[in-house]
Structure 1
Amino acid sequence: MVKLIALYKQPEDKEAFDEHYKNVHTPITEKIPGLKKMEVTKIVGAPGGRESKYYLLCEMYYEDHDALKAAMKTDESKASGKDLMSFAGNLVTMMIGEEVE
């Protein structure tokens, strides 16, 4: 499995971020063809009880690199990317990972 990973820094307005992420961005993203599973993790802290500079981690699973590449070319993926840039473009870092067995 291949993952498209989105790592978000702490937003200034967490309530507005959460509202948009849950009610607008997630439904758009879940429509992307080829998406097998989407896992969202809220970061609650860093070791030693410190606050993390990160707020949220989203892992979007695809069968393989070809499936991910095909998904990124779809209208649904473009809509997700456009929405992402509108509310979190300055907060997000995107990366691609492979599960290790």
Structure 2
Amino acid sequence: MTTKLIALYSRPEDEAAFLDHYRQVHTPLVRKVPGLQRLVVNRVEGSPMGETDLFLIAELHFADRAGFDAAMRSEENRACGKDLMNFAKGRVTILFAEEE
């Protein structure tokens, strides 16, 4: 069963600077996390229920819970977390989920 880490990012004040850092710095760090099978980044365009403050939704796919747990303990993941706190602190919610 696929395990995912899901990151929900609220809309930043400077979208261009945020995206530049996300694409040029953060994404390359994420791609180094061991066991990562797939990275999906979704740009939120709106909501059928009205306004939303969500900007990006990132999904990191891992083969199973054991692979996810190992990835979360890795040095590469720690580097991602450190970078995340540098550019998105207070702007990101992190969840993990099992795909059914």
Moved over 3 A (4+): none
Deviation at 1:6, TM superposition (A): 0.2
Aligned to 1:64: 64
Aligned to 1:41: 42
Deviation at 1:51, TM superposition (A): 3.2
CA distance in 2, matches of 1:23, 1:51: 28
- Residues 1-101 of structure 1: pairs in structure 2 closer than 5 A: 1-47=2-48, 50-100=50-100
CA distance in 1, matches of 2:56, 2:31: 17
Q: Once the two structures are aligned, what percentage of the paired residues are identical?
A: 44
8 Å CA contact 1:44–1:52 kept in 2: the answer is: no
Query: TM (normalized to structure 1)?
Result: 0.94
8 Å CA contact 1:44–1:51 kept in 2: the answer is: no
User: Which runs of no fewer than 5 residues in structure 1 stay unpaired?
Assistant: none
Query: TM (normalized to structure 2)?
Result: 0.95
Q: How many residues align?
A: 99
CA distance in 1, matches of 2:40, 2:51: 22
User: Which runs of no fewer than 5 residues in structure 2 stay unpaired?
Assistant: none
CA distance in 2, matches of 1:27, 1:7: 18
CA distance in 1, matches of 2:13, 2:28: 23
